[in-house]
Amino acid sequence: MIPLQLTLKNFLSYQEATLDFRGFHTACICGANGAGKSSLLEAITWALWGESRAATEENVMHTGADFVRVDFQFICNEQTYRVIRTRQKGKNSSLDFQIENAGKFRSLSGKGIRDTQEHINTCLKLDYDTFINSAYLRQGRADEFMQRRPNERKQILADLLKLEQYEQLAEQAKDLSKQFKGQAEQLENSLAPLEQELKQKETITAQLLSLEAEIQQLQNLIAQDVEKLQQLQTEEAQRKTWEQQLNEKQNKYQTLTQDGERLVKNKSILRNQIAEQDEILNKSPEILAQYQHLLNLEEEDKKLLEKFQLFQDSQQQKQQLEQQLFKQSNELELQSQKAQSQLEFIQKQEQENQQILNQASEVKTNLERLRQIRQRINELEKLYSEVSPLQQRRQSLENEIARKKDKFIAKLELLTIIKEQLEKELAKIPQIRQEALTIDTQIQELDKKKNYQKRLEEKRSDKKSVQQRLQEQQRIYEKQLDELIKKLELISNHEANCPLCEQELDHHHRHQVIKKTQNQQQNLQEDIWELKEQITRCMKDLQNIHQEENTLNQEIEPYNRLQQHFNQLEMQLEASHETLSKLKKNQAEIEQIELDLSSHNFAQDLQVDLKLLNQELENLKYDEKTHGLLKSQENQLKWAEIKQARINEAQERQTEINAKKPQIVKKINQLQEAIQQLQHTSEIKIKIREIEQQIKELGYERSQHIDISNALRQAKNSQSRYDQLKQAERKYPELQEQYRDLENTIQQKQTEQATTKQELEQLRQQFMNIKDYREEIQTLNIEIQQRRKKLEELFGQKGRLEASSSHLEKLKNQQIETKKQLREVKKKYRIHQELALAFGKNGIQTLMIENVLPELEAQTNHILSRLTGNQLHVLFLTQKAGKRKNAKLIDTLEINISDAQGTRPYETYSGGEAFRINFSIRLALAKLLAQRAGTSLQLLIIDEGFGTQDSEGCDRLIAAINAIANDFSCVLTVTHMPQFKEAFQNRIEVYKTNQGSKLSLSN
């Protein structure tokens, strides 16, 4: 990786900066401590891998910024790439990976950040850990490998080489070997009960032979009974045929009898209807006369309605005129009453004014007395202006003291309540402890039931498997049975050939084949019965298991609730100690507050101020009672001022009354004359008299109209009788025709009934001579059922024995398979044991370190010779002898340095020499790690590595960097030492301003 350009926005100490690496081969990043030198290098690692020295990604944001962005362009494998990483405050990061093509960048990003990061790692062939341990010699970590103890350096080297994956493989191999060992032990333990069960095979075979003989005998007896039953059922079927014919004749005779009775009843109903119509037709003259009278009454009622309409119109006009007259009269009456009310109001005001004017002398005396009292009050008001602030201050002090006391009392009450609550809580502890013990016992019982429930589930699963296997076997047998039936049908045909050899069968061979096939059919049928019985037992067992599971589920249902309640009780018991401590502290606070209240030991400064204030108020000699008494007298005499005002108002009102009263009397007299004229000589009154004369001439009588209407209502039924007469004239001929037809039908039904009765008697005589076989058939059926039941029991026993035999056969196969599995598991156990040793620290890991160390040693010495002028040489030792005689070699990683005076340990060297050694080893490690990652080390970053060097050491280090510079495409060094930065032609100056860190380039 060769850097091209780095652009920062709001990254750490930088607000905005751009650094172009083009043209740099070796360059120095220099500036004061804290200026932001290392932040440039952190920006590269954050852009490429999202990693930096910051604890979280948001911590890389510049102070006060809402987002951060870093763009980094670089060359890798002769291709130009760009990585853009951004993050908004409070949001997720975004990452874009691009490649340059024809001067433009094209995105290579994946579906998400993780996928894109994998593309970047694949392109670079480096991850973050490999980079910081190879290309990036980070500040303060250059000598980390060297400063560890010899026995720890090997582990650090293993971590750098990422040998922990072999440690993980070793652990996995150990875990798998333990699993295979456990499986082998389980398989060995399972073989012993299998061998014990296989010993029952001979006993079960003998029982099967005995059962098969008994079953064959019982099947023969059932076949004989079935043949006899079929004969009896044939005879019984004939008897039922005769019985059915007899029942049909009886039903027909009964139907004919019911039809005859119904027809006779209909004939009687029809006869009554004809008689009713005759009666209506005989009253025809009377009905016609009444109908004519109804028509005459309707005509007369119509005439009266016309007169009534005219009468209503005249009455309405009269009412309208009377309303107008009443309205005008009311308006005049209202004006008269209003004027009369004004007159009465004025007269009442005259009386009130006179009463007020009579009090004038008394009011004058009281006004003089009021003036004297007010003069004295003014004097007391001046004194009160001095006393009032003092009284307010006294009241404030008293209130403050009372509040202080109330606070003490309230706190005492609160502490008392808390004390009672704590005492109640402590009183509940024994009960809670007992309840917890009870619930714990219940939970233990439920745990046992849950374990039993798991065993039931396993049992149910096994039963279902058995049931499915039996059902599948039943389907196979039924299919075979259908094939045998078809075969029998084919063989029974005398023209058919042998189904096997296709040759013609003679009578003897056909009989043998049929018998053999029937025997196979019978055997299959027995097998099917046996399977059905086994399936029924399985279903019954499953039903019992299901019922038992339901019962267990109901019993186990409160388990979670009890567990939760038990946890709550435990928490309460744990909190009891804290409650007791709180109670003791509470009791001490209560006793202290009670002591302060009884001794008035609170608000002492306020009580002193109150005492001084009371003394000052006594010196002023202000009498609040005298002031209040005079105020009361003033309020009592204020009525004199009010009454004086009323006297003045009464005098003004009387003057107005004397002017208005004659005018109102004159208006009342004028309104009375107008009312008299309206009632006698007005135009409306004349029109009312004319309408009354027209009503009289009309001659309409209301009573006559009512009489006609009543007579009309009474005659209304004549209309219905007239309608009945017309209907009777139309229906009478039809009813006579229906009556004649009904008589003919009754005669035919009677003839058919007599014939059916004769045939019924003949059938009864024949049915009495037929024998009834029902009891014999029932007895035979019961006997067959009992034998079949016994046969099913035998089949069940046979099925169980065959199942046991089949089970033993499976156990035999299982035994063979188990032994085979045991050999395979033991083989895997040995393999994984060997893999655990191979992947362990003393296996592949040690071998890899042993292979790496010579290469690391050669690369280190190559670099160190440049730094020291071939004065120092490094030697790595991986083993050393123990202190005791004949002791084993000890694994270690010691570093010995050879110089002109001999060989001695690394730890004995001074700071400058130690740093040169550190730098050589660190740079050699960097190259080695890069090679192992599959990439070449083109970029080298040295962050603050010169603080321990003297002048000569710095010169040698600069010379070494320049000497190894040709091995790298770009070398960046970071330092704050002024004399060191002058040694580099390309310098990147970093300095800090109020707007953040800034950059400047110099050559």
Phi and psi at 15, nearest 5°, equal -85, -50
3-state secondary structure of 85: strand
Q: Which whole number is the average pLDDT over 235-258?
A: 78
For residue 718, with 0-12 CB atoms within 10 Å meaning exposed, 13-18 middle and 19 or more buried, which class applies? buried
Closest CA to 2 of 37, 27, 39, 35: 27
Q: Is 498 annotated as a binding residue?
A: yes
**pLDDT for 496 beyond 60:** no
**pLDDT for 139 beyond 60:** no
The predicted pLDDT at position 153 comes to 66
Q: Write the CB contacts of 298 (distance below 8 Å, at least 6 apart in sequence).
A: 712
Alpha helices in 97-163 (DSSP H): 113-124, 128-132, 144-147, 150-160
Q: Which whole number is the average pLDDT over 357-365?
A: 75
Lateral strand order in the sheet of 996-1002: 136-137, 939-943, 970-975, 26-30, 986-993, 996-1002
Q: Write the CB contacts of 518 (distance below 8 Å, at least 6 apart in sequence).
A: 488
**pLDDT for 955 beyond 70:** no
Closest CA to 924 of 832, 859, 974, 988: 859
Strands 939-943 and 889-899 come out as unpaired
Q: Write the CB contacts of 138 (distance below 8 Å, at least 6 apart in sequence).
A: 132, 943
Q: Which whole number is the average pLDDT over 259-275?
A: 81
- Separation between Cα atoms, residue 343 and residue 667, nearest integer Å: 10
**pLDDT for 689 beyond 60:** yes
Count of Cβ atoms closer than 10 Å to residue 488 Cβ: 16
Q: Write the CB contacts of 684 (distance below 8 Å, at least 6 apart in sequence).
A: 321, 324, 325, 328
Buried/exposed code over 492-523 (b: 16+ C-beta within 10 A; e: otherwise): eeeeeeeeeeeeebeeeebeebeeebeebbee
CA 355 vs. chain centroid, Å, equals: 88
As a whole-number percent, the residues of the chain with pLDDT over 90 amount to 2
As a whole-number percent, the residues of the chain with pLDDT over 70 amount to 89
Q: Which residue has the tokens 């003057």?
A: 655
- Separation between Cα atoms, residue 907 and residue 911, nearest integer Å: 10
Q: Which whole number is the average pLDDT over 2-31?
A: 87
Paired tokens of 185: 């032990």
Beta strands in 882-938 (DSSP E): 889-899, 902-905
For residue 960, with 0-12 CB atoms within 10 Å meaning exposed, 13-18 middle and 19 or more buried, which class applies? buried
The predicted pLDDT at position 71 comes to 94
> Of 12-16, 67-71, 665-669, where does mean pLDDT reach its minimum?
665-669
Q: What is the DSSP letter of 1003?
A: -
The predicted pLDDT at position 500 comes to 52
The predicted pLDDT at position 423 comes to 80
The predicted pLDDT at position 884 comes to 62
The predicted pLDDT at position 371 comes to 78
Q: Which whole number is the average pLDDT over 728-744?
A: 79
Q: pLDDT class for 7, splitting at 50, 70, 90?
A: very high
Q: Which residue has the tokens 């196969």?
A: 813
Count of Cβ atoms closer than 10 Å to residue 32 Cβ: 12
Range with top average pLDDT, 282-296, 548-562, 684-698, 901-915: 548-562
pLDDT digits (tens, 9 = 90+) for 29-38: 888 878 888 8
Paired tokens of 420: 């009672």
Q: Which whole number is the average pLDDT over 780-794?
A: 80
Lateral strand order in the sheet of 902-905: 873-881, 889-899, 902-905
Paired tokens of 725: 């007469």
The predicted pLDDT at position 376 comes to 74
Paired tokens of 664: 């109102």
Output 956 or 459, whichever has higher pLDDT: 459
Q: Which whole number is the average pLDDT over 312-340?
A: 78
Q: What is the DSSP letter of 719?
A: H
pLDDT digits (tens, 9 = 90+) for 589-642: 887 877 777 777 777 777 777 777 777 777 777 677 777 777 777 777 777 777
**pLDDT for 325 beyond 80:** no
Lateral strand order in the sheet of 79-88: 14-20, 2-11, 67-76, 79-88, 93-101, 104-107
Q: Write the CB contacts of 132 (distance below 8 Å, at least 6 apart in sequence).
A: 45, 138, 141
> Of 132-146, 443-457, 538-552, 895-909, where does mean pLDDT reach its minimum?
132-146
The predicted pLDDT at position 70 comes to 93
Integer Rg of the chain from CA: 65
Q: Write the CB contacts of 45 (distance below 8 Å, at least 6 apart in sequence).
A: 51, 52, 128, 131, 132, 136
**pLDDT for 486 beyond 90:** no
Q: Write the CB contacts of 648 (distance below 8 Å, at least 6 apart in sequence).
A: none
Integer CA distances (angstroms), 191 to 185, 254, 711, in order: 10, 83, 121
The predicted pLDDT at position 154 comes to 65
Q: What is the DSSP letter of 884?
A: S
Q: pLDDT class for 148, splitting at 50, 70, 90?
A: low
Range with top average pLDDT, 52-61, 678-687, 923-932: 52-61
What are the residue boundaries of the structural domains of the chain, listed by start?
A: 2-170+844-1002, 301-359+645-699
Q: Which whole number is the average pLDDT over 490-496?
A: 58
The predicted pLDDT at position 151 comes to 66
Paired tokens of 389: 């602030």
Q: pLDDT class for 734, splitting at 50, 70, 90?
A: confident
Q: Which whole number is the average pLDDT over 178-192?
A: 80
The predicted pLDDT at position 327 comes to 81
In the chain, what is the straight-line distance between the N-terminal and C-terminal CA atoms, in Å? 24
- Separation between Cα atoms, residue 612 and residue 605, nearest integer Å: 11
Closest CA to 157 of 853, 936, 843: 853
How confident is the prediction for the chain on average, in pLDDT?
77
CB–CB of 528/481 below 8 Å? yes
Q: pLDDT class for 85, splitting at 50, 70, 90?
A: very high
Paired tokens of 719: 């209309």
3-state SS string for 48-77: HHCCCCCCCHHHHECCCCCEEEEEEEEEEC
Paired tokens of 772: 């009834």
The predicted pLDDT at position 8 comes to 92
CB–CB of 100/82 below 8 Å? yes
Q: Is 123 annotated as a binding residue?
A: no
Output 135 or 292, whichever has higher pLDDT: 292
Region 2-170+844-1002: CATH code: 3.40.50.300
Q: Which whole number is the average pLDDT over 435-455?
A: 82
DSSP structure string for 370-398: HHHHHHHHHHHHHHHHHHHHHHHHHHHHH
Phi and psi at 423, nearest 5°, equal -65, -40
**pLDDT for 82 beyond 90:** yes
pLDDT digits (tens, 9 = 90+) for 379-422: 777 777 777 777 777 777 777 877 777 777 777 777 787 788 77
**pLDDT for 81 beyond 80:** yes
What are the respective helix, strand and coil percentages of the chain, to the nearest 5?
75, 10, 15
CB–CB of 346/660 below 8 Å? yes
